[in-house]
Structure 1
Amino acid sequence: MPKNDTDIHFVKGILYSRWNQTKIVWEVPNYPGNLEKLVAHFGDRISLITKDEKIITGHTNKSIVAKNEVLIIKTQTKRLRLLFGFIPELIKQVKTIPYANWDGKNKWWTIPFSEQFLEEINQVAERLNLKIIYEIETKKEQGIKKLKSSETAFYKSCPADYVNKLTELRYSANTAKSYIPLFEEFINHFPTEDLDTLNDKHVMEFSRFLVTERKVSTSYQNQAINAIKFYFEKVLGGKRKLYFVERPRKEQVLPTVCSVEEIQKILSSVKNIKHKAILSVIYSAGLRISEVINLPIKAIDSGRMQIHIKNAKGNKDRYTILSKKVLELLRVYFKKEQPHYWLFEGMGSTKENPVQYSTRSIQSILKAALKKAGIKKHVTVHTLRHSFATHLLENGTDLRYIQSLLGHSNPKTTEIYTHITTKGFNQIISPLDKLDI
């Protein structure tokens, strides 16, 4: 059409319309009502109407999807990318899935990867006579490796003021362990620049470097920016500010959860009393790995059947439940091992110098148990915590109690477990069924 501000404004107002620079034409999706809108607006000026039966999608290895097809791509970030045309019933189904996102730029939906969600999409597609095409995204190209201190003669270490401020503001050891090397990577990216001369321009340049050259994950990029912001805002005392850097949203994925039967197999496969006690405490109380290694003996309150967690994530204290079976197991373990201060202690621990058990050792225990139990799915120590919460929910425990036991500040964090399980839905009775109609 000839260039006309009124016409351009009208076309832009149609959802998902776009300008095709290559063909030098405006493209409007063939959604219900759009053709009628065009005819009503342009009237006699229309000389020809053509419909493209193909849907041009965004950046993907399969750029064209037929009108009766649904392309599903499993991404490297454990999500499913869905590409299809305007199919209202399918769109309605996708919107019911937790953490479903519409990417307006690439014109596709993404949802967390789950066999359950995949089956739901397949059922709708089968009902609508749609062809499902399933692909797995190829592994992304690896970026350049992080600069090591041994690779440069003038490596700049994190300034003492930075480390001291982390301690002064009571940041956790895990946060300090993450922030310090990230900040060092930032200052060493500019070897000829003095620390005092670094500013917003350098932050943006470094962020782009992480994405384009290092090809880091979105969570790594976000944490790197947070580590840099800590220096400018907390150490230098500057005002809190937003840097003009595109900070990516972390893609939400549903956590892996073991079934009750799988937990049974894992714990039954462990014969070492200490190892069994460690995994049992984590699962039975929903603990993080950092919380179990920081448990002193006095945290076990057998009188009230509680475990007292101190200085957990976010410097919060909480109580969680102590299982009767775990208490019996701990008593047997305690008589045999006789720990001095920490509930679980490592090699060389003495009364004068008690040594905490290491996270790596716990991870190794679980890895061996999984192999012995014949469980192939990707299970981590944190999976035991997710399984604890899910199994409580399936047993009818109120979400508010689960939130308290897990130490979540935001109830929405706990609500994720409602999307993992469907057990119990068949027992819910519609209020209509109780009416005499």
Structure 2
Amino acid sequence: MARISALVGDVRRALVARHYSVRTEGAYLGWIKRFILANRLRHPLELGHREVEAFLTRLAVEGRVAPATQNQALCALLFLYRDVLRVQLPWMEEVVRAKPQRKLPVVLSREEVRMLLAQLDGRAWLLASVLYGTGLRLMECLRLRVKDVDFQRCEIVVRDGKGGKDRRTLLPRSLVEPLQVEVERARVLHASDVQAGFGEVWLPHALARKYRSAAREFGWQYVFPALRRSMDPRDDLERRHHVDAEFVSRSLKRARDRAGIAKHVTAHTLRHSFATHLLEAGYDIRTIQELLGHKDVATTQIYTHVLNRGPHAVLSPLDR
């Protein structure tokens, strides 16, 4: 067990050194622990590509996981062997791949969005409105820094989004005033933290070393700060982080139930609805691709399933 505990520590340090996010760190460690447990606590150095193949195959055959889930497990185990144990695994041709499924996104109608937002208030309403009005991913929204919201140009700059890319998206004019109020609230919290001897926010990569005072500057603070300070798992320092993602999920679930919406509603549903409603309004798919931050326009094309309800709607022969 001591060797396993030491290995987990090595994996965590390797992930931090390569600037993986906390969520990715948790996911990778989870898969590595499951792999070790599935092999009766044997150390991975005693195992090889056959055991990795068998583990991934069981996920697909017995666990019936989605292709993305199986791929995440594969990436975690490849990271373990390649970057921590320094063992090069041969290409695994025997793995049974999870069957890919093309699923259409859950999209709310404009009326359903209105009903959903009507059941929210305060910060929950603002977060949901930003998600629907900008098309941001949930963590992109929660990690917004004050300096990246341009109220004059009505723009939001997404830093280090999915794939490590920066991009710009729009800021709805109707959200300018509510967001300004939220920023002022963050300013008051930050001032109280500084007065109490805190006030430093977590900075990505090596920015904290490069710009010594940046962590205490207001521009780097989160637009949606948490109500309380907490210990940072990266370095055990007490900081004020952003709002917990679970707060948004719980708020949307309660609002959906109160609004009587039968569809499954998550933060990503609002992103899907943003893209779909822009397409229905006749906006160019390339423009929507840039706003969403998709690497390939083929990813954005999944929203074209709505075009039969746009200005050039396809009518059923029965309706004719």
The normalised TM-score by structure 2 is: 0.77
Q: What is the letter of the counterpart of residue 170 of structure 2?
A: I
Q: What is the letter of the counterpart of residue 77 of structure 2?
A: I
Whole-angstrom distance in 1 between the partners of 2:64 and 2:300: 31
Question: Is the partner of 2:156 in helix, strand or coil?
Answer: strand
Change (3 A) 1:213 1:371: closer
Q: How does 1:58-69 map to 2 (within 5 A)?
A: none
Query: Residue 307 of structure 2 contacts residue 313 of structure 2 at CA under 8 Å; is this kept in 1?
Result: no
Whole-angstrom distance in 2 between the partners of 1:424 and 1:208: 43
Whole-angstrom distance in 2 between the partners of 1:331 and 1:306: 13
Change (3 A) 1:221 1:270: same
- 1:146 alignment partner in structure 2: none
- 2:121 alignment partner in structure 1: 271
Deviation at 1:170, TM superposition (A): 2.9
- 2:105 alignment partner in structure 1: 255
- 1:354 alignment partner in structure 2: 240
- Which is bigger in relative contact order (C-alpha 8 A, separation at least 6)? 2
- 2:290 alignment partner in structure 1: 404
Q: What is the letter of the counterpart of residue 318 of structure 1?
A: R
Whole-angstrom distance in 2 between the partners of 1:269 and 1:305: 26
Query: Residue 167 of structure 2 contacts residue 293 of structure 2 at CA under 8 Å; is this kept in 1?
Result: yes
Alignment pair present for 1:318 and 2:167: yes
Whole-angstrom distance in 1 between the partners of 2:41 and 2:291: 50
Q: How does 1:19-418 map to 2 (within 5 A)?
A: 156-157=4-5, 158-191=7-40, 193-235=42-84, 236=86, 238=88, 241-272=91-122, 274-335=123-184, 338-340=188-190, 341-349=221-229, 353-418=239-304
- What are structure 1's unaligned runs of at least 5 residues? 1-152, 429-437
Whole-angstrom distance in 1 between the partners of 2:309 and 2:132: 20
Question: Is the partner of 1:426 in helix, strand or coil?
Answer: coil
Question: Is the partner of 2:163 in helix, strand or coil?
Answer: coil
Change (3 A) 1:388 1:203: same
Change (3 A) 1:240 1:206: closer
Change (3 A) 1:211 1:271: closer
Larger gyration radius, structure 1 or structure 2: 1
Change (3 A) 1:201 1:185: same
- 1:422 alignment partner in structure 2: 308
Query: Residue 57 of structure 2 contacts residue 97 of structure 2 at CA under 8 Å; is this kept in 1?
Result: no
Q: What is the letter of the counterpart of residue 8 of structure 2?
A: P
The structure with the greater share of residues assigned to helix is 2
Query: Residue 399 of structure 1 contacts residue 414 of structure 1 at CA under 8 Å; is this kept in 2?
Result: yes
Whole-angstrom distance in 2 between the partners of 1:239 and 1:180: 19
Whole-angstrom distance in 2 between the partners of 1:282 and 1:223: 26
Question: Is the partner of 1:307 in helix, strand or coil?
Answer: strand
Whole-angstrom distance in 1 between the partners of 2:295 and 2:61: 35
Q: CA RMSD in A?
A: 2.6
Question: Is the partner of 2:291 in helix, strand or coil?
Answer: helix
- What are structure 2's unaligned runs of at least 5 residues? 191-220, 231-237, 315-320
Whole-angstrom distance in 2 between the partners of 1:421 and 1:362: 30
The structure with the greater share of residues assigned to strand is 1
Question: Is the partner of 1:422 in helix, strand or coil?
Answer: helix
Paired residues, number: 274
Deviation at 1:228, TM superposition (A): 1.1
Change (3 A) 1:384 1:250: same
Q: What is the letter of the counterpart of residue 110 of structure 2?
A: V
Q: What is the letter of the counterpart of residue 308 of structure 2?
A: T
The normalised TM-score by structure 1 is: 0.57
